[in-house]
């Protein structure tokens, strides 16, 4: 298997037991290459969020196989014990609402992850500064999250997702609260970052504004994924 990215094969998730059991995910197959941004779309209740939570190692699937980077993390059961470290080191999260830590300033919000991993504060902050520069938001480095605009917050959130250079970034409706110009700017950043850091990015969305930008789209319907070729429209 060629290196990196995400591979999901036959993932199945059942909530509950017996007669009340609901199969949220029935047959999910997905493959995202490093440096690729893939859209995951589907109506409400189709299983998008469940898939994202499984991928994020927050809930446990019932069956199937998940490979992150070169590591099998799930094969009819977790293959690694420290899911928390997995989340911290391998996965970057970008949420619909940015969920920045309100009592830390922008730099420390971004630098928090390496700090938690034991990286010295200065090193972590330098790293965060570099990333903020890359995202063109270094001028707000000392601001508190409450002082930022929505787009700025989202960019900080992306920076936080990227700080550990995870092989995978999971973005949940990252553009929902933004107008189309800013939404597109965010998507462009995600694309730039994917290329720059060889990251596989999954963007869960139903934002019509950005769907045309994906080259590949996984459509999920009743717990089953369908791969489609997107428009892959270039920006500008």
Partner 1 sequence: MISLAGRDILHAWGKFIFTGIGLGLLIGVTLTMAGVYRGMVDDGKVLLDNSGADLWVVQKNTLGPYAESSSLYDDSYRGILALPGVAQAANVTYLTMQIRQGENDVRAMVVGIAPGGAGIPGWPPYLVAGRQITRSHYEAVADMATGFKLDDRIQIRRNDYTVVGLTRRMVSSSGDPMVFIPLKDAQEAQFLKDNDAILQNRRRIAENPAFNRPAIPDLLDTVITSQSSNPYVNAVLVRLKPGYAADEVVEVIQRWKRLTAYTRSQMEDILIGKLIATSAQQIGMFLVILAVVSAAIIAFIIYTLTLGKIREIAVLKLIGTKNRTIAGMIMQEALGLGVIGFVVGKISATFWALIFPKYVLLELRDAFSGFIVLMIICVLASIIAIHAALKVDPAEAIGG
Partner 2 sequence: MKRQPLQRRTLAVLVVIIPLFALFVYVALSSGPLAPVSVTVETVKARSIHPVLFGIGTIEARYTYKIGPITTGRIQSLAVHVGDRVTAGQVLGEMDPVDFEARIRSREATLKHAQAILREARARQAYAQTQAHRYEQLLAARSTSEEIASTKRQELQIANAALSAAQEDLSRAQADLAATVVQRENLRFVAPAEGLVAVRDADPGTTVAAGRAVLEIIDPKSLWIHTRFDQISASGLTAGLPAHIALRSRSGQSLTGHVFRVEPRADAVTEEMLAKVVFDSQPLLLPPVGELAEVTIDLPALPLAPVIPNAAVHHHDGRIGVWRIEAGALRFTPVRLGAADLSGQVQVLVGLKAGDQVVVYSEQALHAYSRFRLVEHIPGLAQ
User: Which residue ranges make up the site for partner 1 (CB under 8 A)?
Assistant: 48-49, 52-53, 56, 58-59, 84-89, 93, 95-97, 99, 101-104, 108, 112-113, 115-118, 121, 144, 160, 172-173
Q: Which is nearer to partner 2, 27 or 138 (CB)?
A: 138
Q: Which is nearer to partner 2, 76 or 121 (CB)?
A: 121
Residue 99, contacted partner among partner 1, partner 2, none, CB below 5-8 A by kind? partner 1
Give me the least distance between CB of 121 and partner 2, in Å please.
10
Give me the least distance between CB of 133 and partner 1, in Å please.
21
Give me the least distance between CB of 182 and partner 1, in Å please.
19
Question: Is 150 exposed, middle or buried, given 0-12, 13-18 or 19+ CB atoms closer than 10 A?
Answer: middle
Q: Which is nearer to partner 1, 105 or 152 (CB)?
A: 105
Give me the least distance between CB of 103 and partner 2, in Å please.
10
Contacts of 200 by beta carbon, 8 Å cutoff, 6+ apart? 4, 5, 6, 32, 33, 34, 35, 36, 38, 167, 168, 169, 194
Give me the least distance between CB of 199 and partner 2, in Å please.
27
Q: Report the relative pairing of strands 37-41 and 200-204 from DSSP bridges.
A: parallel
Residue 15, contacted partner among partner 1, partner 2, none, CB below 5-8 A by kind? none
Residue 143, contacted partner among partner 1, partner 2, none, CB below 5-8 A by kind? partner 2
Tokens of 27: 């047959």
- Between CA 36 and CA 209, with CA 204 as vertex, the angle to 5 degrees is 90
Q: Which is nearer to partner 1, 58 or 72 (CB)?
A: 58
Contact 110, 162 (CB under 8 A): no
For every residue of 72-139, DSSP letters joined together read EEEESSBS-S-HHHHHHHHEEEE-SS----TTS-HHHHHHHHHHHTT--HHHHHHHHHHHHHHTT-GG
Q: Which is nearer to partner 2, 20 or 146 (CB)?
A: 146
């Amino acid at each position: 298997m060629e290196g990196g990215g995400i591979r999901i094969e036959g993932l199945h998730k059942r909530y509950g037991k017996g007669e009340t059991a609901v199969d949220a995910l029935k047959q999910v197959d997905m493959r995202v290459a490093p440096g690729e941004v893939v859209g995951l779309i589907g109506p409400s209740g189709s299983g998008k969020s469940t898939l994202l939570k499984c991928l994020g190692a927050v809930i446990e699937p019932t069956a199937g196989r998940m490979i992150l980077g070169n590591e099998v993390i799930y094969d009819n059961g977790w293959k690694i014990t420290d899911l928390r470290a997995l989340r911290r080191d391998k996965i970057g999260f970008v949420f619909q609402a940015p969920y920045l830590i309100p009592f830390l300033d922008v730099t420390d919000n971004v630098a928090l992850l390496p700090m938690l991993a034991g990286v010295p504060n200065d090193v972590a902050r330098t790293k965060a500064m570099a990333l903020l520069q890359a995202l063109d938001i270094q001028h707000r480095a000392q601001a508190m999250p409450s002082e930022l605009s929505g787009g700025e917050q989202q960019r900080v959130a992306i920076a936080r997702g990227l700080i550990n250079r995870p092989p995978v970034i999971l973005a949940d409706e990252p553009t929902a609260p933004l107008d189309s110009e800013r939404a597109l700017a965010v998507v462009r950043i995600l694309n730039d970052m994917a290329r720059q850091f060889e990251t596989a990015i999954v963007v869960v969305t139903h934002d019509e504004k950005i769907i045309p930008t994906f080259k590949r789209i996984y459509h999920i319907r009743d717990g089953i994924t369908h791969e489609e070729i997107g428009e892959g429209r270039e920006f500008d």
